[in-house]
Amino acid sequence: MLSPRFSVVMVNEASVHKCTLKYEITFCFGDTDRRSHIMSGLKYHMSLPVAVGVLVVGLPYSISLVAQWAYGWPNKPGYKKYIEALKPRRIYCLTIAVLESLKYLQYGRLYFQGKSWYTNDNNHMHCEKAIVFGRRGNKLDFYHPPNKPEGAPAPLVVFIYGGAWGSGERATYCLLARHMAEELNAPVICPDYCTYPKGNVLGMVQDIADCLVWAQESGQKFNFDKDNVVLIGHSAGAHLCALTTLFLTDTREELFIEANKQRDITMAIKGVIGLSGVYNIMDHYEHEQKRAVEYVSTMHKAMNGEENFPYYSPSHSLKTLSQDKLNRVPPFALLHGTSDTVVPVESSTKFSELLTSLSVKVSLYLLPRVNHVEIVTDLMASDRRFYHPIYSCVKQEYRKLTGTC
């Protein structure tokens, strides 16, 4: 008999507790407006940390991992490459570099204008496209100056585009080549070359040397002075211009071009104009490490590893030349924007100091507020902000180098 009573009492207590709980819940949430306010407050306090976490952690890690998956993991054995890839400093530095690259989207209009111009058949009078040259069957485009100079054939300009040794094509630079032909009143050629992974840097140098061989053989046909040539390059293109010139000056066997022909080409090169160029590969690799892009960059891959950095550095090649060969190195003109974060301005200032110390003629132009992309894209349209300041420097050096002042 005691058990049932005890049982009933327990049930009643439970019922009381249930009723109390039910009453309290009803009392707290009975007011619809107050309930909405409390629920929204809870959501706010929960969503703010989640949003901050996604922004500060999730987004950078996602961007960085996608970039490394697409372009290359750290050069570490086994699982260590993933540990290196997930280091916080690498994640955030790489994220900043990727986000900075998004500003290049502003040049989309220029890109499509160039595509439209290049595919327009009415422009064939200004440009002869897809001329085959060299041992690999590469192609170049030849741009006529709008006002063909009378009398003696004009000097030739060879423009080498950049692209981190892993991208780029001649058609993208058609507007630049067209304006350059007009501003300098000279024929301009823009060749393609084998970028990574189709080739390494030595292959690229060979392609540019082949282009210069073509120039030696085609001067009369296209009415330009084959013995008066100026190389102009941007970024990796400036590096390749400098390196090709120094390899030719040194008559390197790895070019697979006869020594006499190499000497003729070297004599024909009257100067090199570099726009935001890379001249010391080890220095630039250290800069890439600071930005955490050294593994997603194609540079060390195109160079076949760090052990080849000195071999592919113009600054190192200069130091290996004898005095007799140094005397044959043509003058350099180096242009660099002070707002360049991709290739620091020290790349040009240090190379200028080295050239000066070796008694090689050099001019250095530091362009305020110009970044790595503007120094080349602003040469594509006369309404661009730095079009006239940059061309003013280029024209001054071109006339000095070719003797057309």
Percent pLDDT > 90 in the chain is: 67
Please tell me the distance from the alpha carbon of residue 258 to that of residue 82, in angstroms, as a whole number.
48
How does residue 123 score in pLDDT terms, banded at 50, 70 and 90?
A: confident
Q: What is the pLDDT at residue 150?
A: 67
**Is 120's pLDDT higher than 70?**
yes
**Phi, psi (rounded to 5 degrees) for 332:** -120, 145
Q: Which of 4-8, 210-214, 251-255, 374-378 has the lowest mean pLDDT?
A: 4-8
How does residue 60 score in pLDDT terms, banded at 50, 70 and 90?
A: low
Q: What is the pLDDT at residue 367?
A: 98
Task: Read off the pLDDT of residues 192-202 as tens digits, 9 standing for 90 and up.
Answer: 999 999 999 99
Query: Crossing angle, helix 259-268 and helix 201-222, to 10 degrees?
Result: 70
Q: What is the pLDDT at residue 106?
A: 85
How does the average pLDDT of the chain come out, rounded?
A: 85
Q: What is the pLDDT at residue 104?
A: 78
Please tell me the distance from the alpha carbon of residue 174 to that of residue 190, in angstroms, as a whole number.
8
**CA nearest 368: which of 392, 346, 395, 340?**
340
Please tell me the distance from the alpha carbon of residue 55 to that of residue 60, in angstroms, as a whole number.
7
Q: Which of 13-22, 114-123, 232-241 has the lowest mean pLDDT?
A: 13-22
Q: Which of 35-49, 172-186, 361-375, 380-394 has the lowest mean pLDDT?
A: 35-49
Please provide the distance, in angstroms rounded to a whole number, between the alpha carbons at the two ends of the chain.
123
Q: Which of 54-58, 107-111, 249-253, 319-323 has the lowest mean pLDDT?
A: 54-58
How does residue 18 score in pLDDT terms, banded at 50, 70 and 90?
A: very low
**Is 401's pLDDT higher than 70?**
yes
**Is 357's pLDDT higher than 90?**
yes
pTM: 0.81
**Is 85's pLDDT higher than 80?**
no
How does residue 14 score in pLDDT terms, banded at 50, 70 and 90?
A: very low
How does residue 47 score in pLDDT terms, banded at 50, 70 and 90?
A: low
Beta carbons within 8 Å of 130's beta carbon, 6+ residues apart: 139, 141
**Is 52's pLDDT higher than 50?**
no
Please tell me the distance from the alpha carbon of residue 118 to that of residue 343, in angstroms, as a whole number.
29
Burial class (CB in 10 A: 0-12, 13-18, 19+), 226: buried
Which of residues 141 and 291 earns the better pLDDT score?
Answer: 141
How does residue 280 score in pLDDT terms, banded at 50, 70 and 90?
A: very high
Domains of the chain: 40-106 (no CATH), 120-402 (3.40.50.1820)
Please tell me the distance from the alpha carbon of residue 317 to that of residue 267, in angstroms, as a whole number.
18
**Is 20's pLDDT higher than 50?**
no
